[in-house]
């Protein structure tokens, strides 16, 4: 988004000083186009999609939107809803104990229920094949989060915009990086839950050449039954 804002005409000095969310700035210069307009532009544009291991992307979204949510925001309220419906009461105190945000296992139970009942999902954890429709859009380049620096270089050269932008990484992680704590979170899940998540993201795994095997090894060897609540 930083580079798209440079291409839109914002100066580096302005972007450094601005408190606005980068995507909000971009929307002021890049209006939303109709499907017909987008189909037309695809004929003479370089189209690309950036993908990430589905489980790492899911965990990153959970940590950012729920674990670190700001009070009284949409995702904070969603977290409260999940805790209320998916956290068991302490049998001694008859209260729900634990952090204000849902644990990763509680979030996964809620998410699987949403998926299985066909509810619309937040863009941060809906499968990429549903949100970005790579089977319907002719993307010229599939870039990967794991090789993003090299892939950015390729895109910039391919688009001949190296005189304006360069590879950037302007999304600092709060705390440790997701890839370093994957095991801590996925050991909360059973192998059954991880396999159900794989089924949910199956086409992301297949299309973008990722494997769930390492994550399945983290799961607990127990049978879990999914009980959905409103």
Model confidence pLDDT, tens digit, residues 136-171: 888 999 999 999 999 999 999 999 999 999 988 766
**Residue 23, domain member (yes or no):** no
Name the domain count of the chain.
Answer: 1
**Residue 178, domain member (yes or no):** yes
Does the pLDDT at position 229 exceed 70? Answer: yes
Backbone angles phi, psi at 109, to 5 degrees: -60, -45
Tens-place pLDDT, residues 17-51: 999 989 999 999 998 889 899 888 888 899 999 99
For the chain, the average pLDDT equals 91
Q: Which pLDDT value is given to residue 39?
A: 86
**Residue 200, domain member (yes or no):** yes
User: Is 174 within 8 Å of 67 (Cβ atoms)?
Assistant: no
pTM score, whole prediction: 0.88
**Residue 16, domain member (yes or no):** no
- Which domain range does residue 154 map to? 33-218
Instruction: Give the C-alpha distances (Å, rounded to integers) separating 162 from 7, 9, 42, 48, 71.
Output: 11, 15, 21, 17, 41
DSSP secondary structure code for residue 163 in this structure: T
| Range name among 160-164, 167-171, 177-181, 193-197 with the lowest pLDDT average | 167-171
Contacts of 162 (CB under 8 A, 6+ apart): 156
Q: Which pLDDT value is given to residue 91?
A: 81
**Residue 155, domain member (yes or no):** yes
Q: Which pLDDT value is given to residue 175?
A: 60
Pick the most confident of 125-134, 172-181, 201-210: 201-210
User: Is 104 within 8 Å of 189 (Cβ atoms)?
Assistant: yes
How far apart CA 219 and CA 192 sit, in angstroms, is: 8
Give the residue with greater pLDDT, 66 vs 227. 66
Q: Record the tokens describing residue 26, joined without a space.
A: 């971009």
Q: Which pLDDT value is given to residue 176?
A: 67
- Percent of residues, the chain, with pLDDT higher than 90: 74
């Amino acid at each position: 988004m930083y580079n798209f804002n440079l291409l839109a005409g914002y100066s580096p000095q302005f972007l450094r000083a601005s408190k606005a969310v980068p995507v909000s700035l971009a929307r002021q210069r890049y209006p939303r186009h109709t499907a017909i307009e987008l189909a037309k532009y695809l004929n003479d544009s370089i189209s690309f999609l950036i993908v990430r291991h589905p489980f790492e992307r899911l965990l990153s979204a959970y940590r950012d939107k729920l674990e670190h949510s700001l009070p009284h925001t949409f995702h904070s309220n969603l977290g409260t809803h999940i805790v209320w419906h998916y956290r068991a009461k302490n049998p001694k105190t008859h209260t729900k104990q634990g952090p204000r945000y849902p644990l990763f296992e509680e979030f996964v139970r809620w998410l699987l229920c949403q998926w299985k009942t066909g509810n619309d999902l937040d863009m941060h954890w809906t499968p990429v094949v549903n949100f970005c429709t790579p089977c319907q859009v002719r993307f010229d380049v599939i870039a990967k989060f794991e090789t993003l620096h090299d892939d950015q270089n390729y895109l910039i050269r391919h688009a001949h915009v190296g005189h304006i932008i360069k590879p950037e990484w302007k999304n600092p992680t709060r705390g440790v990086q997701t890839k370093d704590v994957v095991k801590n979170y996925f050991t909360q899940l059973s192998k059954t839950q991880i396999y159900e998540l794989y089924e949910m993201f199956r086409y992301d795994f297949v299309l973008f050449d990722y494997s769930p095997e390492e994550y399945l090894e983290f799961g607990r060897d127990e049978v879990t039954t999914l009980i959905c609540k409103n």
